[in-house]
Every structure is written in C-alpha cells, then in structure tokens.
C-alpha cells in the first residue's frame, strides 16, 4: 500500500496523536534503534504540522534531522536502506 503522497508507508500518526510503525520494522538493526528513530520522526513531523501549519513535505524534511541525529553517514545509509527494503517488500496494508 502506498500513502497519499505516493510512497510506501513505514510509519505514521493518527489524528489523536497515536504513532504506528509497519510491523516489519525491527526494533533494532545492526545496532541502530529503528523504531525509536521512526517514533521521533513522526512526533516531530506531527508537531510541526499541528503547531506551525507547515506542509507535509516541509515537516517531513525537517523531521529527518532529529531522526538521523547521532548516526554516522554510513549508519544513515544502513538505516535508510533497511527502511527502503521494508517499504518495497512489506507495504502497510489496511
């Protein structure tokens, strides 16, 4: 399944603030806390959209910085690669 912006859905948030993550995302992968990073991303993205009314695209881009915080470039590549693999092979179903 793809989200309304044309990309496979890995994580998201509901109108009441709940955050969900695709069940195929592991808790950790190669020492990277995958789910905690996705939760941080979704929380920041939601807060930026609700408090400041900025677009999804702007909020998503801004939320990448705290999501990647503390990772090396190599770790970011591993992290994003794993998420991309999950998105391609296990899209979220409704």
Is 94 contained in some domain? Answer: no
Predicted confidence at residue 6, as pLDDT, reads 44
Domain range for residue 24? 11-87
pLDDT in the model for residue 22: 92
Q: What's 12's DSSP letter? A: E
Distance CA 29, CA 49 (A): 29
pLDDT reported for residue 34: 98
Q: Which residues of the chain have pLDDT under 70?
A: 1-8, 91-94
Angle 22-48-30 from CA coordinates, rounded to 5°: 40
Amino acid 26: pLDDT: 97
- In this prediction, residue 2 carries a pLDDT of 46
The domain total for the chain is 1
Q: Is residue 39 in a domain?
A: yes
């Amino acid at each position: 399944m793809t989200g309304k912006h044309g990309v496979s859905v890995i994580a998201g948030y509901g109108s009441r603030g709940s955050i969900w993550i695709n069940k195929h995302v592991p808790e950790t992968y190669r020492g990277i806390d995958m789910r905690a990073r996705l939760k941080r991303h979704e929380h920041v993205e939601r807060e930026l959209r609700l408090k400041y009314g900025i677009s999804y695209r702007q909020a998503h881009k801004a939320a990448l910085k705290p999501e990647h915080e503390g990772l090396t470039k190599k770790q970011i590549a591993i992290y994003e690669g794993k998420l991309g693999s999950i998105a391609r092979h296990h899209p979220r179903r409704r």
